[in-house]
Every structure is written in C-alpha cells, then in structure tokens.
Structure 1
Amino acid sequence: MPIATFSEKIAQTLSTINYGEEPAELYEPIRYMMALGGKRIRPLLTVLAHHLFEDEVDKVLLPAAGVEVFHNFTLMHDDIMDQAPLRRGQPTVHEKWNANTAILSGDVMLVKAYELFFGVQPIHLPVILKLFSKCAAEVCEGQQLDMNFETRTDVSIPEYLKMITLKTAVLLGFALELGAVLGNASEEDRNNLKEFGIKTGIAFQLRDDLLDVYGDAAQFGKQVGGDILSDKKTFLLLTALEDSNDMHRTELQNWLGKTVANSGEKVQAVTAIYDLLDIKTKTEAKINQYFHEALAHLEKVNAPSERKEYLRALALSLMERTS
C-alpha cells in the first residue's frame, strides 16, 4: 500500500471528527486550527508503526488522529506563550480571536485527544492512556524548560538536548509506540520504535535550528535568522559559545539581548561568527549522529524490511527537508 494511501486515510479521518457545535466561539477555533493543515507526520508514524505488525490499519486511524489533535493543542498554547502572530502562514488562534478563547479551545482539544483513544481494544486502553499521559506531561516539561532558557545565560548543550527531547521528540516516540502497542508488538519492538522516534525527533529539531540560520527564506517559509534575532538558545548558539575563544565569545554575548534598528546586521554578524567556528558542519554532524542512532533502533525491530522501509524513507525525508 503506497504511503500516500495512509496519508489520505488519516486526512479523511481528521475531516470527520466532530469537536462540538455550541457555543460556536469555543469550537470554531478548533476547526480553524485543524484546517490549517501541516505535514501530519505524527499520525502517519502511528499508522506505519502498526503496519509493521498487522495489515489492517483502519482500527488505528482514530487513535492516530488523537496524536495529531494533541499536537495541535500544544501548538495553539505555544503560540499564545510565544505571542506568535502566524501559524502556517495564517493568523494564530489568539490573534484571530483572543488569548482566553485560544486557551479554552486548546483545553477542549486535549480532552478530545483522550476521547479519540477510547475506541481501542480494552486490553490496550490502560497501557495507552498511561503512555499518553506521561508523554503529555513531558511535552509540558519541555515547554517550561524552553521558557526558562529565555532568561538564563548558562544553558548547556546537554540541557538543550534534554529540552528538545521533551518538547518535540517524545511525541514522535509515543506516536510510534502507540502503533506498536495496537499491533501487539513485543516490548522490545515497542521500545526500539519509541527510541527510533525520539532520536529522529531530536535530529528533526536540530535540522530546524540549522535551517533557521542557513535555510533558503523562500523555501523555509519564515524569516531566516529569526532565532538569532530573538536570542533563542539553539544548538548552534550554544555550540558557538562553547567552542569560541574569548574574543568571539564576547562578541556573541554583546549581540545577545541587543536591539538593533537593522535586523539584518545582527543576523549577518552572528552568522559570520558561526561560519568562522564551522558551526554548520558541527550541527550537521550532530544531526547525522542522531539519525544513524535512530536507524539502528529501526533495524532492530522484528518486522519485514520492506515495511520498515516506509519509516526509513519518512525519516530520511525529514532530515533532507528544506522547509
């Protein structure tokens, strides 16, 4: 079955979810958020993981949709905290309505995500709810760490990697483990798929960090250098601070927190320091490290190699993306 067929099934399932009707001010923002689209990577991971062990995938479509609804709930609340004006090129929910509406609509999305798991076989439900609750709490922990880092000047690279693991990667791991559980996979296979997702997720976020500085603005879909302008603690910045000599470290620190009339000047200056320190190559090496670790876990999964190829190809597409 072509991977496009799985994606079509997911899109069809998402289009049929009824979030509620009244009051309209509560439910319309949810429909708006879900209609903004996105890559739908997380539900696809659930379906592909299940497909490793069983042919019939229709029974996992609703729980897979639950993963996507939860993901969009986190985005809705993240946008409020980040005061982001746009999401996928359109006004964010809190901009189109208001922050209170976005908070409440997001809360309903979290409730709906749980509800979408209820249709699984009773034998699997306690395990899935426990795994999901743990994952959901970890995503919140990651978001809090990310906010903590905004005011800290001593963030370490290991701390940053832990933060992106929680904020981004654990949900990919859960999406894969969910599919494995519903496919009656062994505990060893479940764990390897989870680790495949986590390592891929870390590499994915590091790739995002890299594209923010070195991506093509036309393809990236947002302002290149945005992380530099907002003084975001990324792998690139932290590596530069760690690897630089006193002169370059002082120069970098002088740019942090500095408001400039010409934003391009700051981006150009910080990028020039990155170039001197070969930060792009070092980041690419770290991305490749996590990607190869991810593939090693996928290789250990006891499933047909032709079915594992779907997941390998999907992970590769995430690593090679330009937007």
Structure 2
Amino acid sequence: MLVLKEIQNMVNDFISSLPYDRKPESLYNPIKYVLSMGGKRIRPVLMLLAYNLYKDDAERILMPAVALETYHNYTLLHDDLMDNADMRRGKPTVHRKWDANTAILSGDTMLVVAYQRMAQCDPDKLEPVLGLFTETALEIGEGQQYDMDFETRTDVTEDEYIEMIRLKTSVLLACALKIGAILADASSADADNLYKFGEKLGLAFQLQDDLLDVYGDPSVFGKEIGGDIVCNKKTYMLINACLRADESKRAELVRWITADTFDRDEKVGAVTAIYNEIGIRELCEQKINACFDEANAYLAKVSVDDARKEPLRQFINDMMHRKN
C-alpha cells in the first residue's frame, strides 16, 4: 500500500513526463503550460487513493487519473476566459499569455485529450468509466451555467446554491473516487459509497473556499480576500446573510450589491461586518462540519480495513485544514 506522499509524487512526475508529439506546437503548448502550473492535483490523487484501498499497483491507472486532471484544467482554462481573469496560480492565464482564440481552441483540444487519456483504462472497464466521466462532464457544465444564471438573480435559495456547487465542484471528486474503485474491482456498494463520500467532501471543500475568500489570510490564500463580495457572488454566506439580516442590514446589503461604483475595501469591510454581526461565519463553519461528517459516514461504510483508509483520511484531513 502506497503512502500519500508517494501517490502525490507519482502524479506530479507522470504529468511532467507526458509527451506532446502532435503538431502544431502552438495548439499543444498552452495545454502543457496549464498542466505545468501545479496545483493540489486533488482529483487524480483521489482516484489513486480510492484504487489504493483495494490494490497496490496504483501506477497502472496513472493515465486515467491524469485524464481527470486534464479535464479539470480544461474547465479552469475556459473559466478564466469567461471571467476575464489575468492570473492563475501566480502565472498569466492562457488568454493573457496567448489570446482568446488560442484559449478556446486549446481548451477544446484539452477536453478531447482528457477523453483520450481516460480511454486508456482497462478495456473491460471502458464502458462504465466513460459513462460516468461523460455524465460528470455534463453535470459540471450544468453547474457552471447555474452559477452564471445566479449572477443576475436576487432570489437564489440555499438549496439551489448547494445543488449548484454539487454539480460544479463535487461530482468531479465523486467521479474520481468511483472510477478508482471501478478500476480496482471494488463492489458496486463500495463504489457508490465512495461516490457519495466524494459528493459530500466536495460540498465541504467549496463551502470552505467561500469561507476563506472572506476570512482567509491574504498572505496564505494567495490573493486578495473578498473577491466574492466584490462581484456579488451568490455564496452560501451572502444568501444566508440576506435571509437572516434584519430590515436595516438587509437594506445595507442590497445597497452594496446594487452599487455600480464603490471603494473595494469599503465594500468588503462593510459586508464582512454584517456577516460578523449576524454570525454567518459560524453558520458556514457548521455547514462545512456537517458535510464533512456526512462524508466520513459514507467512508466508514466502505468495506476495507481502516488501515487501508488511512492515506485517504490523511489527504482529506489535510485538505479540510488548509489555509489556501
């Protein structure tokens, strides 16, 4: 059984060694660039950790594991273009380093490359693996569209938000874990419990991202805090602040949300102060902990020895206690 660090190093080494032999280089260089930026490699690591619950030869599934990382980074490449973002992981985004047309075409090619890599799994597992991967890709697109739709709505409910982040974030983690289980010949019950574990874990991660965007340490978080507040992103915290605020605080929130011009720091400070007065931080922390507890309950149902679950538990605990 591999330990966590060995799996993480295996993923990074494999990604850095991938050849790109097709032409033109101008199409494939942005793909290499995006995948070379690093990141936590959460999705391929989760796939390998799920496989590692049952088998000791995780190197066999590195290509389909990296397919998920390729797909994830394709979504980030297009997200950056849609958001007109300048930086990703401290480096210029593809549409800034090259141009928007390159970002579109290289992103589209990246999606195809992700499928090509996923198809290199065991032939007898190809149908269930590609079926789950395709369903997940559709759901992520749906989640992204909901997120865009929410930007122009003022009546987004907590349940709608939770469903949006389930689609946009959670299902890819769940997919990673279930594919790892399928490739390791796990029982269908174990594969389903690992999927549900991933769903709940993804909700906890995204809610924690929402929290860190307001309450994180900028020197650790890697960017200015308050970005969600500045762009009126309908997060769990903003939705609940609007629901729970008294009339005067709700009026102040609406004033900030509808303001065309404002001082960034003043807006972030004022909205954060309202969150503090209502207890929104504590509410969000309670929801995170509830999702994490539900995730662990599903993991407990997976029928392998606790010792084999330890690398997976270590990884999720590290992620849940991260500061960025």
- In 2 relative to 1, CA 154–20 (structure 1 residues): closer, same or farther, beyond 3 Å? farther
Amino acid at match of 2:221: F
* 3-state DSSP of counterpart to 2:323: coil
Question: Where do 1:139-178 residues align within 5 Å?
Answer: 139-178=140-179
Question: Where do 1:21-170 residues align within 5 Å?
Answer: 21-170=22-171
Aligned to 1:193: 194
* 3-state DSSP of counterpart to 1:231: coil
For 2:109 and 2:16, the matched residues in 1 are separated by 17
Please say if 1:212 is aligned against 2:213: yes
1:212-263 deviations in Å (ceiling 9; x for gaps): 1111110111110111111111011001001111111111011003244521
Partners of 1:19 and 1:112 within 8 A in 2: no
Aligned to 2:322: 321
Residue 122 of structure 1 deviates from its aligned partner by 1.6
Question: Where do 1:285-304 residues align within 5 Å?
Answer: 285-304=286-305
Amino acid at match of 2:170: A
My pick for the range that moved more, 256-265 or 186-195, is 256-265
* 3-state DSSP of counterpart to 2:38: coil
Q: Which aligned runs of 4 or more in structure 1 are off by greater than 4 angstroms?
A: none
For 1:202 and 1:283, the matched residues in 2 are separated by 11
Aligned to 1:251: 252
Please say if 1:263 is aligned against 2:280: no
* 3-state DSSP of counterpart to 2:123: coil
Partners of 2:230 and 2:267 within 8 A in 1: yes
* 3-state DSSP of counterpart to 1:256: helix
Amino acid at match of 1:276: E
Partners of 1:65 and 1:116 within 8 A in 2: yes
Partners of 2:48 and 2:61 within 8 A in 1: yes
For 2:214 and 2:221, the matched residues in 1 are separated by 10
- In 2 relative to 1, CA 293–276 (structure 1 residues): closer, same or farther, beyond 3 Å? same
Partners of 2:4 and 2:314 within 8 A in 1: no
Aligned to 1:183: 184
Partners of 1:19 and 1:30 within 8 A in 2: no
Partners of 2:244 and 2:278 within 8 A in 1: yes
| Number of residue equivalences | 323
For 1:318 and 1:67, the matched residues in 2 are separated by 18
**Ranges in structure 1 where 5+ consecutive residues have no aligned partner:** none
For 1:265 and 1:119, the matched residues in 2 are separated by 52
1:10-62 deviations in Å (ceiling 9; x for gaps): 11211222344421221111111111110111100000000101111111111
Residue 3 of structure 1 deviates from its aligned partner by 1.1
For 1:216 and 1:121, the matched residues in 2 are separated by 44
* 3-state DSSP of counterpart to 2:258: coil
Amino acid at match of 1:151: T
* 3-state DSSP of counterpart to 1:38: coil
For 1:214 and 1:302, the matched residues in 2 are separated by 38
Residue 202 of structure 1 deviates from its aligned partner by 0.5
For 1:238 and 1:246, the matched residues in 2 are separated by 15
Aligned to 2:283: 282
Aligned to 2:308: 307
For 1:20 and 1:212, the matched residues in 2 are separated by 40
Amino acid at match of 1:123: D
Partners of 2:4 and 2:315 within 8 A in 1: no
Partners of 1:69 and 1:112 within 8 A in 2: yes
Partners of 1:49 and 1:177 within 8 A in 2: yes
**Ranges in structure 2 where 5+ consecutive residues have no aligned partner:** none
Amino acid at match of 1:156: T
Taking only aligned residues, the RMSD between alpha carbons, in angstroms, comes to 1.0
For 2:180 and 2:308, the matched residues in 1 are separated by 14
Partners of 1:260 and 1:266 within 8 A in 2: no
Please say if 1:6 is aligned against 2:15: no
Residue 117 of structure 1 deviates from its aligned partner by 1.8
